[in-house]
Homo-oligomer: A and B are copies of this chain.
Amino acid sequence: MLGPGLIGGSLLKAVRKYSPSIELRAWARREEAVEELRASGSADFASTGIAEVVAGADLAILCMPVGAMADAVSDFPEASPGERLLVTDVGSVKQSVVNSVESIVQKKGGSFIGSHPMAGSEKSGMEFAEAELFQEAPVILTPGNSDGETLSQVSALTDFWESLGSRVSRMSPPEHDELVASVSHLPHVVAAVLVNTILGARSNAGQYAGGGFRDTTRIAGGHAGMWTGILMENREAVLGQLNAFSSELEKWKEAIGKLDTDELRSFLTRASSLREDS
């Protein structure tokens, strides 16, 4: 487990709880983080040296920003004969991870299958980590573009996530990136634009807001640096979704502007029933 943030820290806790026989080795960039890992006993072994953490492991999980992954796997040791390291990640985009990581992993004698656990919150950091984070969470594996992996590795990785309570599905990296642009990146941008529109114009508006405003904008509290990376890595799919959203919004504005009550009601009814059935 490489990188003890919210997801990495939660993985340590979840594996300890649900698969206690697995030996947990953890890497962190900062010495203080390593000392915390040691003091808390969250991992059986912890170090700032990637090579010694990964040596001899069956599975390495990259829990760091997508932009840092290529450097991390470059520091992996070469596999010894007979060893077969499986590398996965927990990043929110997949095609760019495959592009930057897969060939390096394969050169080291390992194989790469992307994972995206759709868990987390607007919080970040190990202090919010919890063993139950992955319960009922959708996890998407993207084995499509990887030549090296075998069916048994896909199935082992599926078992790993299912042991933590997740619901696993599989698709290609581009399919994944389109899907998350829609269900995750678009809502994030919309929530943040909403906050800047409402609170930017009237910073005390929140005191008059009911639960609707608070729920709708909760994810806008997410980590700005991390989200900048995610949105830029997936910018084409994200722009496509933002344009689709804008077109839909224009139809609503037109209906309201024209006092077309029937049309507005049909839009609202559609939203209400789509959401109910989802």
Q: Which residues of A contact B (CB under 8 A)?
A: 118-121, 137-138, 140, 169, 179-180, 182-184, 186-213, 215-225, 227-228, 231-232, 235, 238-239, 241-246, 248-250, 252-253, 256-257, 259, 261, 264-265, 267-272, 274-278
Contact = CB atoms under 8 A, between A and B. Distances in A.
Contacts of A187: 194, 198, 212-213, 216-217
A244 B275 contact: no
A196 B248 contact: yes
A121 B253 CA distance: 24
Contacts of A137: 210
11 contacts: A137-B210, A138-B208, A179-B208, A182-B197, A197-B245, A212-B219, A216-B219, A220-B272, A239-B256, A242-B256, A246-B253
Contacts of A204: 278
Given A209-B183, A274-B195, A274-B200, A238 B256 contact: yes
Contact of A259 (B212, B235, B257, B264): B235
A169 to B, nearest CB: 8
Nearest to A208: B138
